[in-house]
Amino acid sequence: MDVEIVKNPTDDLRGFRRALGQFPTGVTVITTLDANGNPVGVTASSFNSVSIDPPLILWSVAKTAYSATVFEQADNFVVNVLGKQQVAISNACARQGEDKFSAIDYRAGIGQCPVLSGAAAYFGCKTWNLYDGGDHIIVVGEVIEYSYSDSVMPLVFARGSYAVSPPQSVITKEATAQLPEDGFLPNYLLYQLYRAYSCYSGELYPLLRNEFGISPEEWRVLTALSDVDSIGISQLAALVMQPEEDCRYSLQRLAERDYLVIESDEVIRINRSSSDIAERLFVFAKNHEQTVLNSLDKEQRQMLGSSLKAMVSGFGC
61 binds ligand FMN (CB under 6 A): yes
| Span from 60-68, 178-186, 277-285, 308-316 in contact with ligand FMN (CB under 6 A) | 60-68
Which 66-85 positions form the footprint of ligand FMN (CB under 6 A)? 66-67
| Span from 41-49, 107-115, 118-126, 191-199 in contact with ligand FMN (CB under 6 A) | 41-49
Among 34, 39, 55, 65, binds ligand FMN (CB under 6 A): 65
Of 29 and 231, nearer to ligand FMN (C-beta) is 29
CA dist 81 → 30, 112, 165, 286 (Å)? 9, 18, 18, 32
Of 43 and 250, nearer to ligand FMN (C-beta) is 43
Q: Please report which residue ranges of 155-276 form alpha helices under DSSP H.
A: 173-176, 189-212, 216-226, 233-239, 244-256
32 binds ligand FMN (CB under 6 A): no
> Do the bridges between strand 76-81 and strand 121-133 make them parallel or antiparallel, or are there none, so unpaired?
antiparallel
Residue 179: phi and psi, rounded to 5, are -90, 135
> Do the bridges between strand 156-158 and strand 25-26 make them parallel or antiparallel, or are there none, so unpaired?
antiparallel
Of 96 and 129, nearer to ligand FMN (C-beta) is 96
CA gap 289, 223 in Å, rounded: 14
Which 9-28 positions form the footprint of ligand FMN (CB under 6 A)? 27
> Do the bridges between strand 114-116 and strand 121-133 make them parallel or antiparallel, or are there none, so unpaired?
unpaired
Amino acid at 11: D
Among 94, 144, 171, 199, binds ligand FMN (CB under 6 A): 94
Among 26, 34, 46, 239, binds ligand FMN (CB under 6 A): 46
Contact call for residues 164 and 36 (beta carbons, < 8 A): no
- By the criterion CB under 6 A, which residues form the site for ligand FMN? 27, 42-46, 59-62, 65-67, 90, 94-97, 157
